[in-house]
Amino acid sequence: MANEKKEWPLWEVFIRAKNGLSHRHAGSVHAPDADIALRHARDTYTRRMEGVSIWVIRSSDIAASDPADAGPIFEPAESKVYRHPTFYVVPDHIKHI
Amino acid sequence: MYTTEMSKNPTQLGPSAAEPPELIEAFEARVANDEFIEPKDWMPEAYRKTLIRQISQHAHSEIVGMLPEGNWITRAPSLRRKAVLLAKVQDEGGHGLYLYSAAETLGTSRDDMIDALHSGKAKYSTIFNYPTLNWADIGAIGWLVDGAAIMNQVPLQRTSYGPYARAMVRVCKEESFHQRQGFEIMMQMAAGTPEQKAMAQDAMDRWWWPALMMFGPPDENSPNTAQSVRWRIKRETNDELRQKFVDVTVPQAQAIGLTVPDPDLKWDEARGHYDYGAIDWDEFWAVVKGEGPVAKERMKARTEAWEKGAWVREAAMAHAAKQAARRQKEAANG
Amino acid sequence: MTANEALFDYALRLGDDALILSQRLGEWCGHAPAIETDLTLTNVALDLIGQAMLLLGYAGEVEGKGRDADKLAFHRDATKYRNCLLVEQPNGDFGRTIARQFIFSTYQRALYQELTRSSDRRLAEIAAKALKETIYHADLAAEWVIRLGDGTEESHERMKAGFEWYWRFVEELFTAEPADAALIGAGIAVDPAKLRAPFDAALAATFAEATLALPKYPRPITGGRKGRHSEHLGHLLAEMQFLPRAYPDAVW
């Protein structure tokens, strides 16, 4: 427990590789606060021009779905094939649809 | 930089009685199917423990591995070499960081891992307990040590644990320049003045055998290999990787006119591989136990850096707490 | 001193500052308070070594005697080095290293800002590239000064002690050499006296946040720009230059 207080908290790092793309999870760093976390993320994950924008968020602030509930959460979508365009049959001679 | 199984008597791996057989079965099936396991997924305790040990050993190796090369940063013989070496050693630090982060997803803390390293409980790659004595050692480390590491790490990009595999993808991408810069130094020195050539051969003589040892004990003496291969924590055996390394490295040495310090080395036409001489496993186990030539210096450097940094880490936390309190007060005063 | 010699000397000073500080920061590699901090310090060292390569390379061209950046870095004795005394000081603890970085980068930021407008195209180009790096270094150092100054009691004392080591070397940064007058007049070099106000302002702002008292400057110690260095530089160079000096015929 003592460790938890002393250790710099963990931050998740998200990098936008270039404008037009979303930020993507790159990894994590330890840092005492958000400003230093951004600097640590920059020094750790963009040494090779990997990014144009960085987000950091305290790892403990992320709410995540539970893999044990993956069935009830994600499987109901599997039966809703009508959400996909290929579900609908359009004759070949109809164009631009 | 690299790791392999280094505990001679590891904790007994296998299903624990408390773990539901249907969960174990489903887990084994997923892994056998080459699916990735992610942090919050159910996993057997033995798998978790093995991974924490392996990934943290790997991370420790990267961090301790900064020291032998760091030993030459202030003495690099040109500005370009200095910049390259700084960037390379920095990368090793980055790799250690990626790996500690991957291990942390398994529920351990970086501080605990670092404590285990400093107390001698955790191991790191034996190679870093050898000294760097001349500039060609920087070449030899890049070429041979990183070369051996890459052999081991490339298959780990497909390891079953997602965060570890992703860390390895990043590591391998960055590692690709390390081996080349090392070979470039060796090539330059082997073709240089007589003194330079002598340094290059001296480095080759000292680093060859420790590099072969990096792949870990022979398969018949590597108790967890079968389990680890089945769990996709390891993708090829120690001896398979070692042979691969010898086969690609010997022609490289020949091409730049360096002699591999092994009188028994010869091409075996029938096997399609090089045969190599006996490895001194007594030395290997002694170095694993912490009896390497500069093991004490390496640990001293790490613990000193950590202890001397304590006030900095504490100060930054104290400042963050003060700032948070100020913000809270401001918000309350609205 | 001819105009060319003056320009050579000026470029040398800029390059030597960057080189010697990068050499000092390189000593931290593998020994910093946290892995992340290790990467940070190394990034600063890498930026500075890049600046040194450009500036010393240019100095060599200006001199026109066939000396390249490596020749200037590895085959010059301490008395020929033109860096300020500040950058050659030993690292000390992290607090002292940060104090040095704050003073130097804050000064260098102001300097490069001006130098981007130099009438010497090459100096202006190098300054423009280096300025971006230096802004980052100065901000980074300021953030650490604030955290250590306004952290724990111990860190406050260490930060204070770190700066105490350096106050005597500050004046040198803002002092022009006699040969500079012509360069300044021609718009090539920056008049260092102009940099004092932005430096003082940045220092005051950071120190206020860091809860540190403003300095009472002691009698200045100078000499680096003329090749009269502290005892530390000789040792630093002995280490740095060892290989090229011991094996002058070798190419690395």
The Cα–Cα gap between A26 and C138 comes to: 27
User: A33: which DSSP letter?
Assistant: S
In 10 A of CB C60, how many CB atoms?
Answer: 21
Q: In a 10 Å sphere around its CB, with 0-12 CB exposed, 13-18 middle and 19+ buried, how is residue A74 labelled?
A: exposed
Residue ranges making up the domain that contains C88? 3-212+222-246
Full DSSP string of C102-149: HHHHHHHHHHHHHHTT-SSHHHHHHHHHHHHHHHHHHHHHHHHHHHHH
B101, B170, B319 ranked by CB distance to A32: nearest: B319
8 A C-beta contact, residue C173 and residue C107: yes
3-state DSSP assignment of residue A12: strand
Residues of C in contact with A48 (CB under 8 A): none
* Whether ipTM exceeds 0.95: yes
Domains recognised in chain A with CATH numbers: 10-83 (3.10.20.520)
- CA A40 to the chain's CA centroid: 19
The Cα–Cα gap between B258 and B251 comes to: 10
- 0.90 exceeded by pTM: yes
Residues of B in contact with C148 (CB under 8 A): 312, 315-316, 319
Residue B314 to chain A, least CA–CA distance (Å): 7
C39, C143, C147 ranked by CB distance to A44: nearest: C39
**Which other chains touch chain C, taking contact as 3+ CB pairs less than 8 Å apart?**
A, B
Residue of C nearest to A30 (CA): C36
In 10 A of CB B278, how many CB atoms?
Answer: 7
User: Has residue C217 been placed in a domain?
Assistant: no
Q: Assign residue C88 the CATH number of its domain.
A: 1.20.1260.10
Beta bridge partners of A10: A30
The Cα–Cα gap between A77 and A67 comes to: 16
Residue of C nearest to A37 (CA): C36
8 A C-beta contact, residue C237 and residue C78: yes
User: Has residue C252 been placed in a domain?
Assistant: no
Residue A89 to chain C, least CA–CA distance (Å): 56
CB contact under 8 Å between A6 and B314, yes or no, is: yes
User: Has residue C208 been placed in a domain?
Assistant: yes
The Cα–Cα gap between C44 and C7 comes to: 26
* pLDDT, greater one: A19 or B227: A19
Residues of B in contact with A8 (CB under 8 A): 313, 316-317
User: B12: which DSSP letter?
Assistant: P
Which among C129, C121, C80, C106 is positioned nearest to C198, based on CA atoms?
A: C106
B91, B111, B170 ranked by CB distance to A7: nearest: B111
CB contact under 8 Å between B73 and C150, yes or no, is: no
Q: What is the mean pLDDT for each group of 10 consecutive residues in chain A (97 residues)?
A: 70 97 96 98 93 96 90 88 89 89
User: Has residue C251 been placed in a domain?
Assistant: no
Q: Number of folded domains in chain C?
A: 1
**Per-residue confidence band for C158, with pLDDT thresholds at 50, 70 and 90:** very high
Pairing of strands B266-268, A53-58: unpaired
Pairing of strands A23-30, A10-16: antiparallel
pLDDT tens readout for residues B36-83: 999 999 999 999 999 999 999 999 999 999 999 999 999 999 999 999
Compute the average pLDDT of residues B266-286.
96
Contacting B residues, span 152-191, partner chain C, CB-CB under 8 Å: 185, 188-189
Full DSSP string of A35-62: HHHHHHHHHHH-TTS--SEEEEEEGGG-
